[in-house]
Structure 1
Amino acid sequence: MGAGSGSGSAGPWAARIFRCYPVSLVVLAPYVLFILPIAVVYENPDLGFLMRLVGLALAGSLLVETAALPLRGSALGWARGVRAVNGHPRIYAVARCVAVVSIAADLTGAVVGRGTIFTQVSGGLPDSPLGSLTALVSGWSALAVALLIASTLGGRASTRRVGGWLFALALTQALLVVMTARAAPLLGFISFVAAAGAISGVIRARYLAVAAVVVALAWPTLFELRNDIRQSGGVSVSEQVTAEDRLRLDLQMSAVAHHRVPVDLPQPGPVDYLRYGLVPRVLDTDRPTISTGVVINQYLGSSATSAYSFLALGNVYFLDGPWAVIVYYGLWSALMVLLLRVGGAPGPMRLAALCFTLAGPLLWSSTYPDSMIAVIQHAVSAVPVFVLLRLTDRSSSGSEGKQHAGRRHQAGTAAIGHALPAGVAGSTRA
């Protein structure tokens, strides 16, 4: 991260390119940096299919983003704009509170069984009410990242301090690997933070490269740790699948090439989006879980105690066909254009929407269409935080206004005293 405050770190050319082509680069990055090179090294026979599938996604995103290029502003305009709209006096304090609540909720939820591999295998949900309560703020890790980025861009916190909080959030995800025996959320969180930091300009490219190397070096240890925890909990683990095999994401995704698409499988409908997105489970305890990964796994001939995904891009192709890939990434690109370049620089609320999108539908490892419901859930859970920001902003503005009025009154009284004749001024002071 940069050494200075927020506005100074938003100007590098890499960040400007990311803001012009955010979805295209977010889609392309994991494939260019990892998935496609692995397919080349291991001579995956479906390499051509993978490249065509990525091309479909880029066709949708590039078309929208290129058409929106006239809307881009200068680097100076971006720096001034984001500093002005993110200059809430208490945004950094609120960001820290959200981060603390997120960390506490994630750890508490894991203790009672939420999100663990053992709960997934059992096919149920945690019995403890804490599981439902902690789920209410399940999206606050992404919200915390958004508010921390806003704090930096608004000049309310240095990138060094924000980096410390981002590290704390990532460390929590690492602890959850031990508690849940699932490593995918950690990798997804790191990918999301990298994308959000690159687009906002808060995280420098060299730090992203260092993070990628650290994750690559740590993966074999994480994989073995995950397997040991699963075995100690009674979950069977294949001895034939190594850490290197688990990184063959090209095989996981290219498996979709051998199916006639779109495949007719049950998907959430509009009512499900509203029910699961707007109504917390604590108020609708009897509703069944939605897991497209389990549905796909059963279609492939496996049990309902495990899940399978062709990654986000592959799932869209598998469930809705090739044209849906173009439309899907084109629509999300249009949303990103609205968030980043229409109506001035993005403030905290738009940055939160940006982060929810990057952590959900646009995350390469997410499960479509479940991730779209998660975006709605996260947006609903963020409402109290933005109400708090609005209220504190008004109170701060009111107190600052009174202070300015008091200073103006004192200055005006002094000026009148100097302007009056000596005798009148003396009687006035008396």
Structure 2
Amino acid sequence: MLSPPEANVWRSGGRAGGPDAGSGVVGPLAARLFRCYPVSLVVLAPYVLFVLPVAVVYENPDLGFLVRLVGMALAGSMLVETAALLLRRSAHGWDRGVRAANDHPRIYAVARGVTTVSIVGDLIGAVVGRGTIFTQVSGNLPNSPLASFSALVSGWSALAVALLIASSLGGRASRRRVGGWLLALALTQVLLVVMTARSAPLLGFISFLAAATAISGVVRARYVAVVAVVLALAWPALFELRNDIRRGGGVSVSEQVTADDRLRLDLQMSAAAHHRVPVDLPLPGPVDYLRYGLVPRMLDADRPTISTGVEINQYLGSTATSAYSFLALGNVYFLGGPSAVFIFYGLWSAIVVVLLRTGGAPGPVRIATLCFTLAGPLLWSSTYPDSMIAFIQHSVSAVPVFMLLRLTGRGGRSGREQHAGRRRQRGTAEAGHALPARVAGTAQV
């Protein structure tokens, strides 16, 4: 009987133990393309799908600015990614040995545990008031033990996605099972819209999930497209539900802003074109990155919150009870100028190239770091530079899980190898007994 990893079908249809085993199998063309230019496509896709078409339809006068801004980001990312392709002479470092790199005996069990903790932590956080619109308006952060626990595992949704992807790549879980857990994470985000009266985290999570699964090739593109269509159809109802919850909680809602208006992301981003950049705002420095990134709030409860969105909102003449963002790309331009856009996306492209193509195929830790990058600094709807601090926070919070994988991997692999050795010995003995006496005797000489 085949062991579980040997019984699983590999992504392209080959079976473990066949000619495709061990060396990895070249994934779908779309996944290969994403792995050639991961940052460029992650940067380009949201603007091609959500921003530029709307700007064209509504004849946004700042369309040229939007195109130039996206072009600056692509110049930085494509320069690095193309250079990496030329130097490495291969775009398929991911495919070589990716199964072996993720063939951890406990990876799927750990992935399910992390997913469960992430879902429970997010729901508990919403119940105690963490991340809700009402907390944002009041400016008071919940400081209960439950809120602290929720904050510690706030990045585990991205970690869960990474470990589920690794489980599939390593042949430890089928696509159907992985898809079911990913769906549970997405539905949790839908529920959080109702509990927090905030829809931005849902859109951000779906965008991150689409990018992570596209690069890994674990989920087919058509399934991601179906989810996108469902969200688009459900958006007006979600928008009205969100507004009703806000009104019920005493938060004022503008009656002039419709669901369609809220999707005018081109206006949100192009507003940066009318300011002289870079704008001088109080931003977190190196000490703040270390303090907020490495030290949990429960150990530093008196530190003030960091919200660049609030700083931008006040700069634009509004209040400190709300936040504004030009989207990630617009924020980089607004706070750092055109050169910062080129440098920012060039540097993160270099980091992603290292994660995907250096030192063999990526294992669970590198896939998790990639997911933290996609869910943080490279997420088109994130707030720069707050997302940089969040990247550090989430990486630190994942260290115990990485240690658990390392500890369970040693004993688990040793035991499995011993089991495989005993199985081979039994197979050899049975084959010897099955031979005719004369042949068996000859074989033993």
CA–CA distance in structure 1, aligned partners of residues 288 and 68 of structure 2: 32
Structure 2: 5+ residue stretches without partners: 1-7, 14-24, 432-445
CA 1:204–1:407: 2 relative to 1, 3 Å: closer
**1:374 is paired with a residue of what secondary structure?**
helix
Where does residue 4 of structure 2 map in the other structure?
none
Deviation at 1:4, TM superposition (A): 4.9
Code of the residue aligned with 2:414 in structure 1: it is: G
Paired position in structure 1 for 2:313: 297
Query: 1:66-116 CA deviation, whole Å, 9 max, x = no partner?
Result: 1011326475x7445110100001100100000000000000000000000
Conserved 8 A contact 2:311-2:320: yes
* Deviation sequence 1:188-223 (CA, Å, 0-9, x none): 000000000000111222122212211110110110
Cα offset, 1:132, TM superposition: 1.2
Given residue 78 of structure 2, which amino acid in structure 1 is its aligned partner?
A: L
Match of 1:266, SS state, is coil
Give 1:321 shift: 0.5
**Matching residue of 1:380:** 396
Give, in whole Å, the separation in 1 of the partners of 2:412 and 2:210: 33
User: 1:66 and 1:404, CA in 2 relative to 1: closer, same or farther beyond 3 A?
Assistant: closer
Query: Would you say the 8 A contact 1:142–1:355 is kept in 2?
Result: yes
Evaluate the alpha carbon distance shift between residue 82 and residue 305 of structure 1 in structure 2; reply closer, same or farther with a 3 A threshold: same
In 2, Cα distance between equivalents of 1:165 and 1:206 = 18
Aligned pair 1:209/2:225, yes or no? yes
Letter in structure 2 aligned against 1:309: S
SS of 1:68's equivalent in the other structure is helix
Kept in 2: contact 1:10–1:201 (CA 8 A): no
Instruction: Tell me the equivalent position of 1:225.
Output: 241
SS in 1 for 2:135: helix
Tell me if structure 2 keeps the 8 A contact 1:6–1:151: no
Residue 108 in 1 paired to residue 124 in 2?
A: yes
Separation of aligned partners in 2, 1:229 and 1:166: 27
**Code of the aligned partner of 1:140:** W
Q: How does 1:185-264 map to 2 (within 5 A)?
A: 185-264=201-280
Change (3 A) 1:410 1:273: same
Residue type at the aligned position of 1:195:
A
Instruction: Report Cα offsets for 1:390-410 as digits up to 9, x if no partner.
Output: 111111123235446667888
Equivalent in the alignment of 2:58 = 42
Q: Could you say if the C-alpha distance between residues 347 and 234 of structure 1 is closer, same or farther in structure 2, counting changes exceeding 3 Å?
A: same
Counterpart Cα distance in 1 of 2:264 and 2:282: 28
Distance 1:263 1:159, change over 3 A: same
56-65 or 127-136: which moved more? Answer: 127-136
* Matching of residues 165-184 of structure 1 within 5 Å: 165-184=181-200
**What's the offset of the Cα at 1:355?**
0.3
Q: Does 1:64 align with 2:64?
A: no
Counterpart contact for 2:159–2:371, Cα < 8 Å: yes
Any idea what the Cα deviations from partners look like across 1:265-319, whole Å, max 9, x if unmatched?
Answer: 0110000000000000011100000000000001011111000000000000000
- Following superposition, the deviation at residue 6 of structure 1 comes to 4.2
Name the CA distance, whole Å, in 2 between partners of 1:259 and 1:219. Answer: 31
User: Residue 48 of structure 2: which of 32, 44, 49 is its match?
Assistant: 32
Which of 284, 301, 325 lines up with 2:300 in the alignment? 284
Residue type at the aligned position of 1:371: S
1:94 corresponds to which residue? 110
TM-score after normalising by structure 2: 0.89
Aligned to 1:337: 353
The equivalent residue for 2:364 is 348
The answer for unaligned runs of 5 or more in structure 1 is: 416-430
Contact kept? 2:134, 2:249, Cα under 8 Å: yes
- The answer as to whether partners of 2:11 and 2:27 remain within 8 angstroms in 1 is no
| Cα displacement (A) at 1:34 | 1.6
Q: Is the 2:42–2:378 Cα contact (8 Å) retained in structure 1?
A: yes
Q: Which amino acid aligns with 1:146?
A: A
> Within 5 A, what are the aligned runs for 1:395-414?
395-403=411-419
Distance in 1, Cα, partners of 2:389 & 2:147: 19
Q: Which moved more, 1:201-210 or 1:144-153?
A: 201-210
CA contact 1:231–1:237 (8 Å) conserved in 2: yes
Match of 2:333 among 281, 297, 317: 317
The alignment partner of 1:126 has SS state of: coil
Q: How far is the alpha carbon of 1:128 from its aligned partner? A: 2.1
Give distance in 1, aligned partners of 2:201 and 2:97. Answer: 33
CA contact (8 A) 1:7 1:82 kept: no
Instruction: For 2:344, give the aligned amino acid.
Output: Y
Map of 1:362 onto structure 2:
378
The one-letter code matched in structure 2 to 1:22 is P
CA distance in 2, matches of 1:187, 1:167: 14
Matches within 5 A, 1:119-134: 119-134=135-150
SS at match of 1:182: coil
- In structure 2, the CA distance between the partners of 1:46 and 1:5, relative to structure 1 (3 Å rule), is same
In structure 2, the partner of 1:421 is none
Q: Distance in 2 between matches of 1:394 and 1:4?
A: 25
Structure 1 position 33, deviation (Å): 1.1
Contact 1:10 1:200 in 2 (8 A): no
Query: Which has the higher mean CA deviation after the structures are superposed, 394-403 or 221-230?
Result: 394-403
Are 1:146 and 2:182 counterparts?
A: no
Cross-structure match for 2:439: none
Residue 5 of structure 1: how far off its partner (Å)? 3.9
Return the alpha-carbon distance in structure 2 between the equivalents of residues 413 and 13 of structure 1: 45
Q: CA deviation at 1:414?
A: 11
In structure 2, relative to structure 1, the CA distance for the partners of 1:151 and 1:410 (3 Å cut) is closer
Work out the number of aligned pairs and report it: 414
Contact map agreement 2:65 2:273 (CA 8 A) in 1: yes
